[in-house]
Amino acid sequence: MAPGSRQYELVLLGATGYTGKLTAEHIATSLPTDLKWAIAGRNEQKLSAVVEELKKKNPDRPSPDIEVCEIKKDALDALAKKAILIITTVGPFMKFGTPVVEACANNGTHYIDSTGEVPWVYDIINKYHDTAKANGAVMIPQCGVDSVPADMMAYLIATHIRRTLNAGTSEVLNVAKLKSKPSGGTLHTILSLFDHYSLSQVATSLKPFALSPVQPPASSTSPTPGLVTKILGIRQDKDLGILTDWVQAGVDTAIVQRSWGLLDGGKLYGPNFRFSEWMAASSALMGVLVHFGMAFSMLMIALPPVRFLLKKLVFQPGEGPEIESTKQDHAHYKSVGIADTPKAERAAGTIKFNGSMYYLTGLALAEAAMVILRGGETDAKKLGGGILTPATLGDEYLERLRKAGVTVEVNMM
């Protein structure tokens, strides 16, 4: 079906959930008023309530249509045929995401989601990338806080070094600082991951460059972690200070590595490129404590009785922090990139958002949709579709994020 004949430019699936409502709010208050869109979900009454809330946010804007849709093959096929692009925030994606991906890939419908489930992304790449590409569907998972800031930071620094020095990048170190409480959907996804995937499946998906379409050359001279880092989980950088483990590092690194392989087969960033993500530590001792504390926490979560108990204690899916309590939240990312040159020149980058990380996710999803729907000649478009990454939306996406309130800065040091 030709995109021009479709009823909607955009359909938001999962608009009644915590992240879905914030995504709908950004669409209603910030995207062009001539956008033809709909919200979709299983409960018409809840969808109607969302529409009423959106009217209060922007009474002059036409309200979105409502599409009642079950997460079932026939219903999703019908929905995908109505839309040029679907955003979905319905998780856990390992449970509810695959039928949506399949419907979009088969029907040539562009797709964006807010997952952070790398084993699931690994699976859909293997199952649906070729189908999506054959049908011209641009499909971008992990297009929220997981993993837009990290992926766009790596792109920002590597392209700045390329344009300034005509050189590749040997390494990007990204330091993340989030002030936010997780929603029920996020917590239940983390706790459900080990119910759905074995430890070996998780480990396979998180291997270096497991998601990349190409592998680094055997001659790669990129830096590798030292013995202290491997054992104690800490590292010191002359510009960033003492660094320790960051909870999202594996999730974000997997997507950055896929971007490396998608963008000119690794040539844009350079053959020796590596990315790592950290949290700043006040001291070496604190960094070591964080490292072993995270290791112990992951060990506990791997135990079924612990997961069962935690699921009873945390926010339930669809719930999250009160919006009023998130006004002091922030997501700050600071990076250093090292040029792959004899002088090892350095570039510094900043991506910063003041507000809820879930609103940042909604903003990131909606602005990515606009690049795909109404943007110019991005790498995503040149690639012709498939399971891609935020970085394939390039400079135009960075500019839309800036205009939407995200601070984006880069310079040579």
Residue at 412 is within a domain: no
CA distance 124 to 126: 5
Count of structural domains, the chain:
2
Are 206 and 217 found together in one domain?
yes
Residues 364 and 300 in one domain: no
377 and 243 belong to one structural domain: no
Do 320 and 362 share a domain, yes or no? no
The whole domain housing 366 covers 8-145+358-406
336, 356, 376 — which closes off a domain?
Answer: 356
Instruction: Please compute, for residue 37, the number of CA atoms within 13 A of its CA located in the half-sphere on the CB side.
Output: 30
Q: Which two tokens stand for residue 205?
A: 């998906």
DSSP 181: P
* Residue 354 tokens, joined: 């003041």
Place of tokens 């936010």: 180
Between the two ends of the chain, the Cα-to-Cα distance in Å is 50
- The stretches of 220-283 forming alpha helices (DSSP H) are 227-232, 249-262
- Flag whether 2 is in a domain: no
Residue 194 in tokens: 């080990």
Q: Is residue 1 in some structural domain?
A: no
In the sheet that holds 65-68, the strands lie side by side as 65-68, 37-41, 8-13, 83-88, 110-113, 138-140, 386-387
Distance between CA atoms of 121 and 318, rounded to whole angstroms?
22
What CATH number is attached to the domain comprising 30? Answer: 3.40.50.720
Tell whether 411 is covered by a domain: no
Query: Both 400 and 252 in a single domain?
Result: no
| Same domain, yes or no: 153 and 188 | yes
- The answer to whether residues 341 and 391 belong to one domain is no
Domain co-membership, 73 together with 199: no
Are 218 and 307 members of one domain? yes
Query: 296 and 170, same structural domain?
Result: yes
β-pairing, 407-412 vs 169-179, is: unpaired
Say whether both 133 and 157 belong to one domain: no
Please name the residue ranges forming H helices in 302-377: 304-313, 357-374
Sheet holding 275-280, edge to edge: 235-237, 241-244, 275-280, 169-179, 330-339, 346-354, 407-412
User: Do 292 and 156 have their domain in common?
Assistant: yes
Assess if residue 199 is contained within a domain. Answer: yes
Last residue of a domain, one of 339, 356, 373: 356
Locate tokens 């999803």: which residue?
Answer: 365
> From first to last of its 413 residues, what are the pLDDT tens digits of the chain?
455 689 999 999 999 999 999 999 999 999 999 999 999 999 999 999 999 999 998 888 899 999 999 999 999 999 999 999 999 999 999 999 999 999 999 999 999 999 999 999 999 999 999 999 999 999 999 999 999 999 999 999 999 999 999 999 999 999 999 887 776 667 777 778 888 898 899 999 999 999 999 999 877 776 677 877 888 989 999 999 999 999 999 999 999 999 999 999 999 999 999 999 999 999 999 999 999 998 888 888 878 888 778 777 766 666 677 777 777 899 999 999 999 999 999 999 999 999 999 999 999 999 999 999 999 999 999 999 999 999 999 999 999 999 999 999 999 99
Residue 364 inside a domain? The answer is yes
Domain assignment present for residue 367? The answer is yes
Question: Which pTM value belongs to this model?
Answer: 0.94
